[in-house]
Structure 1
C-alpha cells in the first residue's frame, strides 16, 4: 500500500471526524489524518515486548489502550525512563536512527494500531510540523522526568507522575478524578530511581498526609489542587507543544 492509499483510506473511513478536525484548524486536521492512518489494530498481553533496545524499527505504533513502559536494563536492574499512553506514537525516537534506544514493554493488556515504518516516515515527511510537535512533547516529558529525579522527594515524585498522567490521559478521556494504572510499587520505584520498599514508604506518606491513596496502581484523592501543589506540578510543559 502506498502512502496516498493510506491517507485516502483514513479520510474515507472517518470523514465526520475529519470534518470536525478541519473546524478545529489545519494542525488538528493533519494530526487527525496522521493518527487515523494507523489501520492494523493489535491486542497485546501484559509483559509483551513491543521493541527491544537496539532493534531495528519495522512499524510505528499508535497506543489505543493501556500503558507501555520504556525501559533500560543494567544486568538485573531496571530503569523505567518513560511511559506511552493512549494517543502516543511509539517509535518517534527512532527517527533518523532506525533503532530504539530503549525497550518498550506493555504494563498490563494494551492495544496498538500499527503502520509500516517506511509509510509512516513518508507520511510524516508531508506533515513535518506535526511530527516535530509530537517529538518535542515527548522530549519535554523526558526533561521533566530527569529534573524530578533531582528536585523532588520520593512522595512528591510519585505524586508528580500521577498528576502528569491525569493531564496526559485527559487528551483522549477527559479529566478524571481517579487515575487508574496497572503499575505496581516496584514500577513506581523504577520510575523514580528508588527501591520498592522506598516507594512503599512514599505511598504511605501520601496517604498519612491525607493527600492521596494509591491502591493497586489507582490513585484516589479528594483534592487534586493540593496534590499538585505538593508535587510542585506545573502542567505548562505539557501544553508548551499542542498536539
Structure 2
C-alpha cells in the first residue's frame, strides 16, 4: 500500500530498509471510497493520517452559499491530511474526485516515529512543506489567463504522476469530468471547453477523453510558466 509513498520519498533522499518497514507497519488495511464522498470533512478532528493509495482527490474550502474552491489535487502516494498530526482541527476538506483507495496511519504511531526516528520525521516534514509550496503555486496560477492556468495544472499533475510511476511514454490517465476540471480551475464549463481547444491548438498535448499525452513538454511548461522546482523532483539530503 505504501509503495508509491516510499518510492516518492526515496527520490528525494534515501530511506533505510528499516525506515521503509516502519512506514509500511503504521498503515492500516485498505479502504475503498466511491467518487464524490469526503475523505476528510471540513473542520474534522482526525486521530489518523490518510494515505491516498490510488485515485484522485481534491483539497477544498467552502464559500458562503456552499461553493467549493479547490487549493490542491492529491495523487497516489500522497498523505492527504498530514497537517492534522499537528493541527487538531483541519480547516479544509478533501473530496474523492474518482473512486479512491486509502489507508490510515494512527497519529499515535506517527508521533512515536517523530520521537524515535528523526530522519524519517524530517522526510515527512518535507512532505508538509511541499504541500505548502503547491498551495502557493496554485495561488500564483490563478493570476494567469485560462490557457496558462490549464497548462500549469497539467504540468504539475504530470510531474507528480511521474514520481508516482503513473506516466508512460509521456501519457497518463486523468479520469476527471469536465465539470470537476472547471471547478478545480475556477472556470465555467463553456470557458473550459474553449480553453481545451486553444491548448490543443498549441500542439503541446493530445487529449482524448481521460487519456492525455504530452507532445511537447517544453512548450506546455512555457504556456503555463511552470517551474517544477517547488516540487523538489531531485535528490537532496534531508
TM > 0.5: yes
Per-residue deviation, 1:241 = 7.8
CA distance in 2, matches of 1:34, 1:216: 40
Deviates more, 1:213-222 or 1:68-77: 213-222
**How many residues are treated as equivalent by the alignment?**
225
Q: CA 1:124 to 1:83, structure 2 compared with 1: closer, same or farther past 3 Å?
A: farther
Contact 2:48-2:85 within 8 A present in 1 as well: no
Aligned-residue offset at 1:134: 0.8
User: Cα offset for 1:111?
Assistant: 0.9
- 1:121-136 equivalences in 2 (<5 Å): 121-125=111-115, 126=117, 127-136=120-129
Equivalents in 1 of 2:12, 2:73: separation in Å? 29
Structure 2 residue aligned with 1:192:
185
Matched with 2:15 is 28
- Aligned residue for 2:152? 160
The TM-score normalised by the length of structure 1 is 0.81
Asked if residue 212 in structure 1 is aligned to residue 205 in structure 2, the reply is yes
CA distance in 1, matches of 2:74, 2:68: 17
- Show the counterpart of 1:38: 27
Task: Decide whether aligned partners of structure 1 residues 208 and 27 sit closer, same or farther in structure 2, where only a CA change above 3 A counts.
Answer: closer
Name the stretch that deviates more: 62-71 or 216-225: 216-225
Do the aligned partners of 1:183 and 1:217 also contact (CA within 8 Å) in 2? Answer: yes
Query: Where do 1:88-99 residues align within 5 Å?
Result: 88-99=78-89
1:52 Cα deviation after fit: 0.8
SS in 1 for 2:98: strand
Once the two structures are TM-superposed, the CA of residue 194 in structure 1 deviates from its matched residue by 2.1
**Residue-by-residue CA offset, 1:139-194 (whole Å, 9 max, x unaligned):** 111111111112x2111111111111111112221643113112222222222222
Distance 1:118 1:205, change over 3 A: same
The whole-number CA distance in structure 2 between the counterparts of 1:94 and 1:242 is 27
Match of 1:55 in 2: 44
Higher RCO, 1 vs 2 (CA within 8 Å, ≥6 residues apart) = 2
Paired residues of 2:11 and 2:233 also in contact (CA < 8 A): no
RMSD over aligned Cα atoms: 2.9
Matched, 1:112 2:102: yes
Mapped partners of 1:24, 1:167: distance in 2? 13
Deviations for 1:28-58, whole angstroms, at most 9, x for unmatched residues?
2376345413131111111121111101112
Distance 1:148 1:185, change over 3 A: same
How high is the TM-score relative to the length of structure 2?
0.82
Residue of 169, 173, 179 corresponding to 2:172: 179
**Partner SS for 1:179:** strand
Shift of 1:240: 6.8
> Which residue pairs with 2:55 in the alignment?
66
The separation in 2 between residues aligned to 1:169 and 1:62, in whole angstroms, is: 15
